[in-house]
Copies of this chain bind each other. A is one copy, B any other.
């Protein structure tokens, strides 16, 4: 029995930044997510790789309570992605996307994964994301990622999916495109009217905002002095968020606030090295230390002098 189910890509990445490069790095949304979430809870991965995938390199994740019993190995090539970042690390160019066997991915959730209390639908075709929801029992929270490709090309399916999602995770550009509204506060309302009780808007170096029935919660980006590789930061964010909720074993306004901070913390760790290695090496204490830093960075006492 696992606590968190993730469905997404398991890939090999080539990454170029002004500060270095990585070839054949472990990548994909399910890898970054599980690397982060497994600091706190057991994770089951559902995905597909080709017969060329270096499965032995997933050993470090297995040692962290990540199960790959839902990872199908198919004759063919694995998902490959290559990207290049500009000096500012905020904009990147995708140089290569080879779906390989991922192009025919049909998620099948193994029986022992179906009772997961938390589900992360990584950024894949909304029709497949909906398929996953039809195979699970009654998760306490379903977190869903998406991207401009699906917002533009599979809008109907995405809107249908949103009716069954508890929390949507998008970046600011995606929230604007989905809602057709530039104003983020109104964009979040628009999305929440379509189903998700919560919307989390990721703003990269500017942090993240949670919109929900209890109002708005804002967490900043961590002011790293050295950023090496932002690849996977969004999935690491999702992993920190659900990982914390699994550990807290309670979903209320207070834990949701904290979970967003754990998300930002994990997103910042993801940027400190190429690939998911920094995340895989993280212990709970080190994460808690960074969460403390976020608390110090944002706290202020409301009452001061009398009006």
CB of A185 within 8 A of CB of B302, answer no
A165-188 residues with Cβ-Cβ distance < 8 A to B are: 182-186
Chain B residues contacting A298 (CB-CB under 8 Å) are 217-219, 298-300
CB of A300 within 8 A of CB of B227, answer no
A60 at the A/B interface (Cβ < 8 Å)? Answer: no
Which residue on chain B has the smallest CB distance to residue A215? B296
- Range of interface residues on chain A? 35 or more
A207 contact from B220, B255, B291, B296, Cβ within 8 A: B220
A297 contact from B217, B224, B284, B295, Cβ within 8 A: B217
Taken together as a complex, chains A and B put the C-alpha atoms of A224 and B299 apart, in Å, by 22
Taken together as a complex, chains A and B put the C-alpha atoms of A254 and B216 apart, in Å, by 24
Taken together as a complex, chains A and B put the C-alpha atoms of A247 and B307 apart, in Å, by 9
A74-121 residues with Cβ-Cβ distance < 8 A to B are: 87-88
Taken together as a complex, chains A and B put the C-alpha atoms of A288 and B304 apart, in Å, by 10
Residues of A within 8 A of B (CB): 87-88, 182-186, 203, 205-207, 209, 215-220, 223-227, 244, 247-249, 254-255, 257-258, 261, 284-285, 288, 291-292, 295-302, 304-305, 307
A selection of 6 A-B contacts at a CB cut-off of 8 Å is A183-B227, A215-B296, A217-B297, A217-B300, A219-B298, A291-B302
